Amino acid sequence: MLEGTVQLDPDAQHRVETFGSLPKGEIETTLQERGRNYGDFPGHARITQGIKREMAKGKRWDSLRDDQKECLEMVAHKIGRILNGDPDYKDSWHDIVGYVKLVDDTL
């Protein structure tokens, strides 16, 4: 180990890699902000997972490329946020356009 560095356990390393080195309380602040924009997490999860379950039943689902599936799943995620939270929060709509554009560019 290098002098002056801290060795993290795997769980702490995952948190730092996922959330960055956030000051205490910042995750709570982020979650409160997201809650205002996207609604409560269980409600969002229920809507989004319902959409994803229906998409996976489509007869062509298994023939889609990974990027096409991921795009549709992310659009479902954004739709879930819109339906569960603030429908006028522009970022959700903007993200949908972005994901669709990424697939459109490959076709």
What's the pLDDT tens digit per position in 8-46? 666 666 666 666 666 768 888 888 999 999 999 999 999
DSSP character for 23?
P
- Say what the pLDDT of residue 27 is: 87
- Angle at the Cα of 68 from the Cα atoms of 63 and 71, rounded to 5 degrees: 145
The token pair that represents 61 in the structure block: 């689902």
pTM: 0.76
Q: Is the alpha carbon torsion for 60, 65, 71, 77 positive or negative?
A: positive
